[in-house]
Chain A
Amino acid sequence: MSDFLFNHLLDDAHQCPIIVNGVACQVPEQLNVAAALLYLGHLANRQHPVSGELRGSYCHAGFCFECLVAIDGQANQRACLTQITPNMSINTALAGVN
């Protein structure tokens, strides 16, 4: 699950500390939450409530609601519409996976 499939275009980007599933990470500060998860290698961010299949962000434009994660304790937030802030706590909803 932790293949790094994405690169950041700018080498000298300022880093921002965030916490993903309890793990402290550094990501470029201009990312939104969905982009930060992709950057860190999390293609999947939740399980489908009916089938339990893994799902990941899809449209990145606020339409598809696939990128729902818990942000600072608030569940079901659209990651693609939320800008990261220092020390933001993000929890993917992957119970029993990883």
Chain B
Amino acid sequence: MAQIYDYLVIGAGPAGMAAAIETSNAGLSVLVLDQASSAGGQIYRNLGHADKQQTSVLGSNYGAGKPLLECFMAANCDYQSSVQVWHIETHTKGFLVAAIVAGETKSFLTSHLLLAHGAMERPMAITGWHKPGVLTAGAGQILLKSSALMPKEVVLVGSGPLLLLLAQQYRVAGVAIKAILDTTPKSNYWYAIPWLVAGLTNPMELFKGLWLTLVQRIKIPYISGVSHLEVMGDEQVSGVKYTVSDRVYNIDCKLVMLHQGIIAQTQMAQMLRCAMVWNERQQCWQTKADVMGYTSIPGVQVAGDGGSIGGALLAQIEGRVAGMGRVFNTPVVSPWHKKWVYSWLRFRVKQLRWARGLVDRLYRPAEWLSKPADQTIVCRCEQVNAKTIRSIVNSGCAGVNQLKRFTRAGMGACQGRQCGLNLSHLVAQTQQRPMAEVEPLSVRPPLSPINLGQLAKSLRL
């Protein structure tokens, strides 16, 4: 019989690491499964092995993860890297997590589960976004962190803190940034003003953010108020076409990096049938959870950006809170001051989430970006364009899941990760319903590809 863990954490980013430290220090048996080859998540990716030159380019927020990473590596928990979780289900003993480790199928049992798998970039469906030479800003940063690779020349397109951070890092590394095409609607700045009060509760971050924005605006050709983007080129990218104040411009380039914020991943929680909610402020689906991370399914918690987007600092606190919540659920006697720390941290979670409202409002994606042009490929995997989707919805399709069966959109290899949100948008717009009423794409196993041999072996626990 396989070991039954007290706590299984999926993801070794700030949230997952903090939760694992908290629970393993209390004496619980903890297992951490992570997709990457080294711990740190996306924010501290490869931090343990990064070269000095890389760390200096990536800046102080990257290096800030060192103490947490060291504490995690010293913690008394089981940690497996390069793990692909392909299935999760409820089990008589709690939960069964099926994964592929080094080509072999392995199943793990646990009584409690923490989903700390982080977020993904909001898909930015503009015409030509599927051409070779278009990457995401997140991809640009991953290349810098894990491979020390950077483009010679690039155009950055979109909106959001990550785009500006990448611009800063690329500038320090000596990359020629031809332009930043900023899609942030000008009205966002007005709408964000009331949120300044919230932002001021986290003054250090606010100051850093303002500084970052100003520096890029001064040092890089910065074009704001951009709309109607189109990536040009036949077989690969040759340029970007965009509109500013009703005038159309062209910029030549071979590499484009897109970004319009990040959204929570919900696949695993959906697989466990946790309740979902539409977050209007962050414009994405997320797992319904309380401040301690408890979802609608007993024994399942979420923490970090996989729950709701809040950044690394908040993720780390949420992870700690989730871990503490788990420990209080056991007969283990905690030191007297833990309850106080727990209350304080839960307050910090609420406060930082409120402060995040400023970023959410300021960088709320432009509405036209959720209304792709007819010829735009919405589902990259199955090559389905917006026109096809609109016509099927118009002919009486009930929702995204029926749409999937009619058009194959969302049925490809990425399992709707790159199109799901935009499909929901298109259904909501065409049927004139609010997003909260349109269900998200349903999720089915396997969460990542698995061959038949692996599947057959996985039936034996």
Q: Which residues of A contact B (CB under 8 A)?
A: 3-10, 13, 28, 30-32, 35, 38-39, 43-45, 48, 50-51, 53-66, 68, 76, 80-81, 83
Contact = CB atoms under 8 A, between A and B. Distances in A.
A21 to B, nearest CB: 16
Interface string B111-153: 0000000001100000000111111101100111011111111
B51 interface: yes
Contacts of A5: 151-153, 254-255
Nearest to B50: A30
B146 A30 contact: yes
A18 to B, nearest CB: 14
A75 to B, nearest CB: 10
Nearest to A43: B132
A65 to B, nearest CB: 4
A56 B133 contact: yes
A65 B413 CA distance: 6
A81 B35 CA distance: 8
A57 B147 CA distance: 15
A32 B147 contact: yes
Contacts of B143: 6, 35, 38, 60
Interface residues of B, number: 48
A56 B120 CA distance: 19
Nearest to A84: B147
A11 to B, nearest CB: 9
B132 A54 contact: yes
Contact of A59 (B37, B49, B136): B136
Nearest to B418: A64
B99 to A, nearest CB: 13
Contact of A60 (B138, B254, B412): B138
Contacts of B418: 59, 63-64
B202 interface: no
Contact of B142 (A7, A61, A76): A61
Contacts of B152: 4-7
A68 B139 contact: no
A60 to B, nearest CB: 4
Contact of B35 (A10, A53, A62): A62
Given A5-B255, A9-B173, A61-B138, A38 B130 contact: no
Given A6-B150, A31-B147, A64-B380, A55 B130 contact: yes
Contacts of B383: 48, 50-51, 53
B53 interface: yes
Contacts of B57: 9
Given A64-B380, A65-B412, A6 B149 contact: yes
Contact of B149 (A31, A58, A59): A31
Contacts of A53: 130-131, 235, 383
Interface of B: 35, 37, 42, 49, 51, 53-54, 57, 82, 84, 120-121, 130-136, 138-139, 142-144, 146-153, 173, 235-236, 254-255, 380-383, 412-414, 417-418, 448-449
Contact of A63 (B54, B120, B148): B120
Contacts of A68: 413
15 contacts: A5-B152, A7-B151, A9-B54, A9-B173, A10-B53, A13-B148, A48-B383, A51-B383, A56-B134, A58-B380, A60-B139, A60-B143, A63-B414, A68-B413, A80-B142
Given A9-B144, A10-B148, A31-B149, A64 B135 contact: no
A66 B380 contact: yes
Contact of B42 (A31, A61, A66): A61
A28 B383 CA distance: 34
5 closest Cβ contacts across the A-B interface? A56-B132, A60-B139, A65-B413, A35-B147, A44-B132
A8 B135 contact: no
B147 A30 contact: yes
Nearest to A52: B383
B148 A54 contact: no
Contact of A76 (B54, B150, B449): B449
Which of B42, B53, B381 is packed against the most chain A CB atoms within 10 Å?
B381
Which of B49, B136, B147, B449 is packed against the most chain A CB atoms within 10 Å?
B147
A30 B148 contact: yes
A81 B138 CA distance: 15
Contacts of B139: 57-61
B414 A64 contact: yes
Contacts of A63: 120, 414, 417-418
Given A7-B149, A28-B148, 16 more contacts: A5-B254, A6-B149, A9-B51, A10-B53, A30-B49, A35-B146, A39-B147, A39-B149, A43-B236, A58-B130, A58-B380, A61-B139, A64-B380, A64-B418, A65-B381, A68-B413
B150 A7 contact: yes
